[in-house]
Amino acid sequence: MANKNIRSLSYRKELDDNLFENITALSKKKVSSKEFHNLAKRFMIDDSVVIGTASFYDFLRPENQEKKVHVCNGTACMVAGTQDQLTEKLSTLVDADKIGHVPCLGHCHKNNAFLYNNHTYSAHSIEALEKIISDTPALENTYYIGSSSTPILTSKIENITEFYTLFESYIKHPEKVIEQLKQSNLRGRGGAGFPFYFKLDAVLKENETQKYIVCNADEGDPGAYSDMYLMEHQAHKVLFGMLIAGKTVGANTGVLYIRGEYPNSIRKIKQAIKQLEDLNLLQHFRFKIIRGQGAYVCGEETALLNSIEGLRPEVRVRPPYPAQYGLFGKPTVLSNVETFANIHWILKHGGAAYAALGNGKSTGTKMVSLDSYFNRPGMYEIEMGTPLKSVIEEYGKGFKSEIKALQIGGPLGGIVPIHKVKDLTLDFESFTNHGFLLGHASIVSIPNHFPIIKFIEHLLEFTADESCGKCYPCRIGSHRGYEMLKKAQNESYKIDRQLFNDLIETLELGSLCALGGGVPLPIKNALQYFEDELKEYFK
């Protein structure tokens, strides 16, 4: 495992005087190199560590420090076609060179999204934009919230103190927690679907005094905003899950790594932690929020750990797994927001009750985000196994315009042509068996008029932009792929199909993590289902 020395030095100051937060603070202050040098000295590392880290993140790069407004260029806003106009209008209010970009703000349900002064907005009229730029009002990101059979994640918490009393019956019996979770067959909701109890069990068995719980709230998939919903509306479900996981495995610290594009989520989680403090419900557990600084790859678990440590968020090799060598090299339970949010219900109603919901190996419910092409966009809690068709028609109320395909599960999720919708049910197995991916179950609609070539160019551009740069296939391959697709659209150049296939195979087989390894799936779907549309670009 690389970087053991830096990791260990960072651990000396751990979370309270955190290296990453220090680098963040200095980068945003636009201080002299002397201050970066002093920071490095204080941590007994070299300058290159500090600026190597800073140079990685969109929000920390020196060239982005002048940007005041960040316009969303995520998939949903792109297919909605709202952003060019938005940028044009904004540039009448703000210098054009002070407008930057950000990949998805979780406003996929209404688009026209931008980040300004630590708030996210959707607005398109010039009057509304003027008011935002001058007043920075605190506006709620509102959308329809619905659920299918049993609301687990979307049910309301009536009384916080009462909600946490469940804690008492489990505090002395870690084995019971693991037993219930095992029975529930709760699988990680970040996309990989790994049985959750297994992680707890593995960390419990590690013989270390320092252990961590880490909540991956770096919901970077453009089109997905379910973690945002959970943090902003169901914070205590998330916190309870982390707390009980900590008490179960012997960890006294929980870190929430929340992406910087979700400023309101950070505020809501902070408030919730404050409530716990005020109500004396913390049980000597320490919560720490780490704010992401604009890097999609931090959603990858090992990159996320490196990020908290102040290292460059490059993907680590596995093994060792986070359960053995996680945050600061200590045993760590790392899972997604939605996974943690399920725990309370499971422990309250029993693992069997949870397992009774869903479809085979995919138990419980799944949060599904619908974009603005739906007649009723919003956030839905859908029981696993529900036909995709009914998600679209019953809950989303169908589409506003002609849709030719859906990208489900983020930028690395499959492109489902509309005629395949009828074959799919909302669960891990159905998607995998049909050559798609449930992922985080966000749905972005690709309208008939939107060229597929542009869509896959967007996916490769996104991958190239967000690649950590560590492994060769992803670092070079995604960039070359993007260059070829762009060239084929703008010049008389035709892509060598054999070369393109080789590239896709190289990415798929050779990449270190799911970013380079995952982007071939939607591209292969596109090549398979939209061959007619694409063939003019290839030779």
Partner 1 sequence: MKAYINDTAHSIIKGETILDFVRRVENREAIPTMCQDDRLDNFGSCRVCSVEVAKEKNGSTKTLASCHTPVTEGLYIYHNTDKIKRLRKNIVELVLTDYPTDKLVAPENKAPTEFQKTIAQIGIPTIRYPKGDNHLTIEPDRAHPYIKSDLSQCINCYRCVRACEEIQGEMILNMSGRGFATRIIKGFDTTFDESACVSCGACVQTCPTEALTDKFETKTLIPDKTVQTTCTYCGVGCQLEVAVIDRKIRGIQAPKTAEVNEGHTCLKGRFAFQFYNHPDRLREPMIKKNGTFEVVTWEEAYDFVAKKLLYIKNKYGANAIGGFSSSRATNEENYLMQKMIRVAIGTNNIDGCARVCHAPTAFGMQQSFGTGAATNSIEDLKEADAIFLFGANPLKGHPVTGAKLKQAFMKGVTSIVVDPVKTTLAKLATHFLQIRPGTNVAILNMMAYYIITENLVKQDFIDTYTEMYDDFKNHVLALDMDALSELTGVAKTLVKNAAIAYANANRAMEFHGLGVTEHFQGSKTVMLLSNIAMMTGNVGRKGVGLNPLRGQNNVQGAADMGVQPHQGAGYLDVNDPEIQHYYAKKYRINKMPEKEGLKIPDMLNAAIEGKLKALYIMGEDTIMTDPNTNHSIKAFENLELIVVQELFMTATSKMADVILPASSYFEKNGTFTNGERRVQRVNKVIEPIGNTKPDGQIIIDMMHKLGYTQPTGLTYDAAKIIEEIADVIPFMKGLTWERLGTNGLQWPINADGTDTKTLHVNGAFKKGKGTFHHFDFEESPEIVEHGTNYPFILTTGRELEHYNSGTMTRRTDNQYLLAKDYLEVHPKDAKRKGVTNDDMVKIFSDRGSVTIPVKISKNVKKGVLRTTFHQPEVFINIITGSVGDKETLTPEYKVVAVDFEKI
Nearer to partner 1, 2 or 25 (CB): 2
| Residue 244 binds partner 1 (CB under 8 A) | no
| C-alpha to C-alpha distance for 12 and 365, rounded to whole angstroms | 41
Q: Which of 13, 37, 233, 348 binds partner 1 (CB under 8 A)?
A: 37
Q: Which stretch binds partner 1 (CB under 8 A): 124-132, 153-161, 472-480, 527-535?
A: 472-480
Nearer to partner 1, 346 or 453 (CB): 453
Give exposure, 37-62, as e/b (b: 16+ Cβ within 10 Å). eebbeebebeeebbbebbebbbbbbe
| Residue 453 binds partner 1 (CB under 8 A) | no
Site for partner 1 in 41-80 (CB under 8 A): 44-49, 51-52, 55-56
| Residue 194 binds partner 1 (CB under 8 A) | no
Nearer to partner 1, 48 or 207 (CB): 48
| C-alpha to C-alpha distance for 233 and 242, rounded to whole angstroms | 16
| Residue 477 binds partner 1 (CB under 8 A) | yes
Q: Which of 341, 408, 468, 523 binds partner 1 (CB under 8 A)?
A: 468
| Residue 3 binds partner 1 (CB under 8 A) | yes
Q: Which stretch binds partner 1 (CB under 8 A): 65-73, 130-138, 407-415, 464-472?
A: 464-472
DSSP string spanning 264-284?
HHHHHHHHHHHHHHHTT--TT
SS3 344: helix
Nearer to partner 1, 18 or 363 (CB): 18
| C-alpha to C-alpha distance for 229 and 273, rounded to whole angstroms | 17
| Residue 476 binds partner 1 (CB under 8 A) | yes
Question: What backbone torsions phi and psi does residue 135 show, to the nearest 5 degrees?
Answer: -110, -20
By the 8 A CB rule, do 348 and 162 touch? no
The minimum distance between CB 506 and partner 1, in angstroms, equals 4
* Pair type for strands 144-147 and 212-217: unpaired
Structure token pair of residue 517: 């390894």
| C-alpha to C-alpha distance for 294 and 183, rounded to whole angstroms | 37
| Residue 510 binds partner 1 (CB under 8 A) | yes
By the 8 A CB rule, do 153 and 237 touch? yes
| C-alpha to C-alpha distance for 239 and 269, rounded to whole angstroms | 8
The answer to whether the bond into 62 is cis (omega within 30° of 0) is no
| Residue 465 binds partner 1 (CB under 8 A) | yes
| Residue 493 binds partner 1 (CB under 8 A) | yes
| Residue 509 binds partner 1 (CB under 8 A) | yes
**Pattern 11-30, partner 1, x by CB under 8 A:** xx------------------
* Pair type for strands 415-417 and 403-408: antiparallel
| C-alpha to C-alpha distance for 4 and 387, rounded to whole angstroms | 47
Q: Which stretch binds partner 1 (CB under 8 A): 82-90, 148-156, 337-345, 463-471?
A: 463-471
Tell me the one-letter amino acid at 258.
I
| Residue 469 binds partner 1 (CB under 8 A) | yes
Q: Which of 97, 505, 531, 536 binds partner 1 (CB under 8 A)?
A: 505
Site for partner 1 in 304-343 (CB under 8 A): 312, 314, 317-319
Q: Is 434 exposed, middle or buried (0-12, 13-18, 19+ CB in 10 A)?
A: middle
**Pattern 123-152, partner 1, x by CB under 8 A:** ------------------------------
Q: Is 33 exposed, middle or buried (0-12, 13-18, 19+ CB in 10 A)?
A: exposed
Name residue 482's beta-bridge partners: none
Nearer to partner 1, 236 or 312 (CB): 312
| C-alpha to C-alpha distance for 100 and 130, rounded to whole angstroms | 18
Nearer to partner 1, 68 or 479 (CB): 479
For partner 1, the binding residues (CB under 8 A) are 1-6, 8-9, 11-12, 33, 36-37, 44-49, 51-52, 55-56, 295, 297, 312, 314, 317-319, 464-473, 475-480, 483-484, 487, 493, 496, 499, 502-503, 505-506, 509-512
